[in-house]
Every structure is written in structure tokens, then in C-alpha cells.
Amino acid sequence: MKIFNSVPLLLLPSIVSALPSELAEVELDTRACVSFKNPVTNVSGCCDVVTAQLFWIDIILGLGVCCPLGQVLDGFNCVAPPSNGSTCTGEPVCPHKIGTDLGIKYGHCYVLLSLNNNYLGHDSATKYVVNGENPGVVFRVCGDTTNCVTTADQYVTTNGTWYMQDQFGDPNGSGFGWLGGSGDLSIQNSSTALVMGGSTTCFGGSCAICINFPPGGAHAPCPLAPGQSHLGIAPNPNSCQNFYWQEVPCRSEK
């Protein structure tokens, strides 16, 4: 029997107790073992889904992180649940070191709050909109559009760029999606994901990040009801769209 080093230690007692007979071992393997590969370490493993939870990063590629039951995914790390974990404090992220980074980290997940306290989400179709029909989309900040592990857990530098993985995805599609397109920006496949940048700022004492789409800026493409706005690319790099960024647990792909 193989015991992979990505299997949390707390699983070992149940695996060891299955040793008395080969039969029991086979039974355990088929009952509880779900194979996965950790995208950060590249170590393949087996997640005992009776005593642990497998968070899928990418189902098709078989990438995932196996966490003890009750923990959630903070980037690619298993942490205590939001109530007293590092995520979901409700505080907008601030630079770790002013002038050096934006405060957001590669591989970590966020919701974006507009200056008028409405979450960025989807409209009833696939466009991104502030104060739309389906607010509060969870985004993962990714350094690449495949497994999202590029410089995982590192802060995005002041002039760093990233892609936004949309963990809700296309309502009529499957899997996670990507923020991209043109005009009113919308849910895309990875091939048309847009590269993003940002600058730090603050409003009323709360840190914010004004996003842009390098080499251009960002701007609402068309008039909407007050309090609402779409996302769009602006030719002028000085133009940007402001959001408070709040860290939340990452979601498991279904």
C-alpha cells in the first residue's frame, strides 16, 4: 500500500488500522481514496474523503488540495474556517509593504466591493457588473491561466499583473471561468482571459485597489443605473476602477 506524503498525518491511524488484511486495504482504497495531484508540490496523493475534504483546483487536470474535514482553502493552504481563520476578516486588504506590493496574493481568493458598498458579480447573463443580479462572485488571483500556481502565496508587486479566475463560472457552462473579453467584460474561457494590473489607494481610511487592464486602463463602458457599473478596458492607462478587496476562502471546482 502506498502512503503519500500529501496525505495529512491525521489520516494515518485509519490507514494503519486497515493493515491487518489485504482485503481491508483494498476496501479502504476503493471506499475512501480519491486520487489527486497537489498543483504546488506536484505530489500525487490519495484523499480519504471520509476524514478529509478534497478541494478541486482543476477537476479535468486532477489538481486538488486535500484538507482535514472542517478546514477551508486559503490560497493552496488548508486553514481553520473563516470565523477565526486568516480569511474572511471583512477587512479590505492593504499593502503588506507600502510601495512594494498591492496586498493581494497569487493563488488567493477575493470578493470585490465597490466604493458604494456593492459587490462585483454577474448580471443575469455573463457580464461583470457592480450591483447586478448575482453579486459577490469569488475570484482567484492567478499568475497563469492553467493551474494558477505561478508564485503562489506571494504578494502581487506594485506593477505586477495577474488573471482573475471566476470561481462561479459561466452559469450555462461548466467549471471555473475567467474574467475577460472586450466591451462590457464577461465570463470567458482561459484563452481570452485578460491580464490585470492595479494601483493602491484608499478611501475614508480603507485600503483599495484601482484596477486596470495593461497596457490600458479601466472604465465603465456604458451608462447604467446609479450604483451599477460594468467593467471595461480604457485606452488611457490613467483611468482605473476602484474596489475594496476582501479575502475569502477559495472554492472547490465541481
Instruction: Please tell me whether residue 171 binds ligand NAG under the rule CB under 6 A.
Output: yes
Please check whether residue 48 is in contact with residue 7, taking contact to mean a CB–CB distance below 8 angstroms: yes
The radius of gyration of the chain from alpha carbons, rounded to an integer in Å, stands at 20
Residue 84 DSSP code = T
Nearer to ligand NAG, 214 or 221 (CB): 214
We find the least distance from the C-beta atom of residue 252 to ligand NAG, in angstroms, to be 21
Q: Which is nearer to ligand NAG, 92 or 177 (CB)?
A: 177
Q: How far is CA 147 from CA 47, 61, 82, 104, 192, in A?
A: 19, 8, 24, 18, 16
Q: Can residue 84 be called a binding residue for ligand NAG (CB under 6 A)?
A: yes
| 212 belongs to the binding site for ligand NAG (CB under 6 A) | no
Contact status, residue 36 vs residue 59, Cβ threshold 8 Å: no
Interatomic CA distance for residues 121 and 46, integer angstroms: 35
Among the listed residues 30, 83, 225, 226, the single contact to ligand NAG using CB under 6 A: 83
Residue 207: CB minimum distance to ligand NAG, A:
20
Determine if 146 is a binding residue for ligand NAG (CB under 6 A). no
The cell 482561459 sits on which residue?
190
Footprint on residues 178-197 left by ligand NAG (CB under 6 A): 188-189
Cβ neighbourhood burial of 58 (10 Å; 0-12, 13-18, 19+): middle
Q: Which is nearer to ligand NAG, 35 or 189 (CB)?
A: 189
21 in contact with ligand NAG (CB under 6 A): no
Residues engaged in binding ligand NAG (CB under 6 A): 41-42, 83-84, 125-126, 157, 159, 171-172, 188-189
